[in-house]
Amino acid sequence: MSNKGTYYITTPIYYPSSNLHIGHTYCTVMADAMARFKRLQGYDVHFLTGTDEHGQKIQTKAQEAGVTPQEYVDEVVAGIKDLWKTMEISYDDFIRTTEPRHMERVQKIWKRMYDKGDIYKGAYEGLYCKECESFWTESQLVNGCCPDCGRPVEHASEEAYFFKLSNYADRILQLYDEHPEFLEPETRRNEMRNFINQGLEDLCVSRCTFDWGIPVPNDPKHVMYVWVDALSNYVTALGGPDDAEEYNKYWPADVHLVGKEIVRFHSIIWPAMLMSADLPLPKKVLGHGWLLLGGEKVSKSKAAKGMDVVDPVILIERYGIDALKYFLLREYTFGQDGNFTNEVMLKRINFDLANDLGNLLSRTVSMIEKYCGGVVPAATTHDEIDEDLKNIAVSAAAKVSEEMDKFAFNMALERIWTVVRRANKYIDEKAPWILAKDKSKKAELDTVMNHLAETLRIVSILIYPFMHTTSDKIRKQLGLWYADVVWEDAETFEMMYQEQVKKGEQIFPRLDVEKELEELTKIAQEEAKKKAAAATQDPVEKAILNSVPLELKDEIVYEDFDKMDFRVGTILKCEKHPKADKLLVSQVKMGTEVRQIISGVAENFTPEEMVGKKVVVLANLKPRMLRGMESYGMLLFAGDHGNYVITTDAPDGEVVN
Ligand code: MSP
């Protein structure tokens, strides 16, 4: 494998404010596919992800949870790392902004900017909410009050450091002009151009009203603005800004993959910071679109409404990592927003994976077992149809590469599925089950089996960056377990000969979409309730949301209930049953009538305790003889062993209904 040089790819570093959802997963899955693709192409890849752990929001969350900010983030970050492990994300480094290696190096970047004369002390003016210790702009207020807590705000001013962002407007515009590839898609570049043209203000880059952040060098009562801290991660993780082996090797980054709402930070503030610190700029910032739920960005609060399951862990448990990754990469067009629903996901998994790919593999392996004793035969004949399949299969790798160069993951997969679908059609056209009936067609039949095996071998290479586990499964069934996955091998057809195939499990079992949707809806609603219960302060609402249905006897109708005649009674007298230790014999007055009723509660009550109690009696219960004494009805008790007697204030004789 030739080494084509280095390739440094990054995801944004995620806020560990709570667990990640499918929207966050989307970006990491794309970065992972690209990293794996580039590795397969022979690049020395460095794939960085991590967490953005400072700032007032995290500090407040930790306070609410009654833990230190560090304890708070440690727990959420452990969950994020677990998620990436479950999803087999192949990152090379995970940077946490609370790590000393990051904090020290950010201070160095700051110093470079300061020494350049680009950072100065000033005053941050604005509308201030004392309660939340936050500055707001006029437009952020809700009814003139703090958008977070609803309290009135006041004009205030706070000492702060500023970065001369305005000085860099021209150089950034020039960067877009000279290197349009720096920021893509083009729509984002145009948006940023407009933004800059409206005038760039200097950026407030420090705060002194909270302390969960990186101290400003030589003025530690200030902490750095969280975006200065966060953006620097791409350099600090490599050991920069000083000379360091990884930094020298991988910086500047080949691509920062980011969501569209943070393109502004990456394509204006970040290059300006680097220009100021005299550091090279990344080669590309790529802005992707959002996954939407019902037209709005998938977010924790939206998920809390419980329409679809957006927790990647649940989806992976049910459908597998590869199905989820395939869906995310195939369904959405890079740069554009796309709606996420469980239904679209399930259908995609069924059609493309269970039907198209799964069937192609199981049909091929079964036929090679049946017609060729399980051994892949050589191809000795060929006609136009064979040629067509072969051409489509061997030319796919170049097309996939072309699409990947454009980050068009969905199109890359579409190119691969063109091959898969062509192979399925090839089976129908060639009808091997008919060829198998005629001995003189044996050579032709062998060719068909050979071509199907070759095609699947190629598919197993092409899908490797997107679904490496599925690729391995296919290769095992094809008897290719011994061979490394080599990209160039997808460009040739004559590689398989006498491999021993072995039918395995269905790689993607067919899903019952209706049933799955019902299940997922239930799960989503349960999750939503849990989240809402955790969020509310109202104890009644919390209890309602936490309510779990009781396990009851079979349902009855009103007529069943109406058969029972309950009455209020007063116990006039109570004695122990002379022949049974567990029984009490009571004389109960219900209006005009006094009756004898026997109850098995002598272990819980003394006869004296029972006398005078106003009780509820099932009065029309058939009389029953208990150890030689007649009982005419039943007193009601609660608890497994009649621990509590049911009493009432109502006068005796009253009907209970
Ligand atoms: N911490 C900052 C990034 C700092 S990078 C130096 C941040 N974190 S975040 O957790 O809020 O978001 C991280 C990424 O997840 C962003 O790129 C964001 O666009 C992405 N997504 C969050 N929700 C998303 C969707 N619903 N859909 C697609 N991506 C989304 O911003």
Q: What is the pLDDT of residue 135?
A: 77
β-partners of residue 49 are 94
Where is pLDDT greater, at 20 or 365?
365
List the CATH code of the domain at 343-491. Answer: 1.10.730.10
Residue 303 in this model has a pLDDT that exceeds 70: no
CATH 1.20.1250.20 fits 558-656, yes or no: no
Q: Is the pLDDT of residue 520 over 90?
A: yes
pLDDT tens column, 402-421: 999 999 999 999 999 999 99
| CA 182 vs CA 15, 99, 279, 483: distances in Å | 25, 29, 16, 39
Cα(275) to centroid of ligand 1, in Å?
25
Q: Say what angle helices 69-86 and 56-65 make with each other, to 10 degrees.
A: 100
582-593: average pLDDT: 96
Q: What are the structural domain ranges in the chain?
A: 6-107+225-310, 118-223, 343-491, 513-545, 558-656
Mean confidence (pLDDT) of the chain? 94
Q: Are strands 255-259 and 285-288 parallel, antiparallel or unpaired?
A: parallel
Name the residue of 11, 14, 20, 232 to mutate for ligand 1: max ligand atoms within 8 A of Cβ. 14
Cα angle, residue 132 at apex, residues 130 and 137 outer, rounded to 5°: 80
Q: What is the pLDDT of residue 297?
A: 84
Taking the C-alpha atoms of residue 37 and residue 252, their distance in angstroms, rounded to an integer, is 20
- Within 6 A (CB) of ligand 1 lie 12-15, 23-24, 26-27, 52, 230-231, 233, 258-259, 261-262, 290-291, 297-298
Among the four given CATH numbers 2.170.220.10, 3.40.50.980, 3.40.140.10, 3.40.50.720, the one describing domain 118-223:
2.170.220.10
> In which band, very low, low, confident or very high, does the pLDDT at 456 lie, cut at 50, 70 and 90?
very high
Q: Where are the beta strands (DSSP E) in 97-141?
A: 119-129, 134-136
Residue 593: closest CA among 634, 652, 656:
652
Mean pLDDT, range 58-83, rounded to an integer: 94
- Helix count and strand count (H, E) for the chain: 26, 26
- In angstroms, the CA 99 to CA 320 distance is 33
Q: Are 292 and 251 in contact (CB under 8 A)?
A: no
Kindly give the distance from the C-alpha atom of residue 10 to the centroid of ligand 1, in angstroms, as a whole number.
13
Out of 15, 20, 24, 102, mutate this one to test ligand 1's pocket (max ligand atoms within 8 Å of CB): namely 24
Asked if residue 599 lies in contact with residue 584, where contact means CB atoms within 8 angstroms, the answer is yes
CB 583 within 8 A of CB 600: yes
Which 3-state string (H, E, C) describes 72-89? HHHHHHHHHHHHHHHCCC
> Is pLDDT at 302 greater than 80 in this prediction?
no
Would you say residue 147 has pLDDT above 80?
yes
Q: Whose CA is nearest to atom 7 of ligand 1?
A: 14
Q: If we measure between CA atoms, which residue out of 555, 554, 556, 536 comes closest to residue 546?
A: 536
CA 14 to ligand 1 centroid distance, Å: 6
The pLDDT of residue 301 is 62
For the CA of 12, the closest atom of ligand 1 is 5
Question: What mean pLDDT do residues 463-489 have?
Answer: 96
Residue 305: pLDDT over 70: no
User: Over 60: is that where the pLDDT of 1 sits?
Assistant: no
Task: Check pLDDT > 50 for residue 393.
Answer: yes
CB-based contact 652:589 (threshold 8 Å):
yes
For ligand 1, atom 5, which residue shows the shortest CA distance?
Answer: 12
Check whether 481 has a pLDDT greater than 50: yes
Best of 13, 17, 262 for a ligand 1 pocket test (most atoms within 8 Å of beta carbon): 262
Q: Whose CA is nearest to atom 30 of ligand 1?
A: 23
Q: Name the nearest CA neighbour of 404 among 526, 490, 519, 496.
A: 490
Which pLDDT tens digit goes with each residue over 87-105? Answer: 999 999 999 999 999 999 9
pLDDT in tens, 248-263: 999 999 999 999 999 9
Does residue 117 surpass a pLDDT of 50?
yes
229 has a pLDDT exceeding 90: yes
Distance 263 CA to ligand 1 centre (A): 10
What architecture is the 6-107+225-310 domain classified under in CATH?
A: 3-Layer(aba) Sandwich (3.40)
Max CA distance (Å), the chain: 106
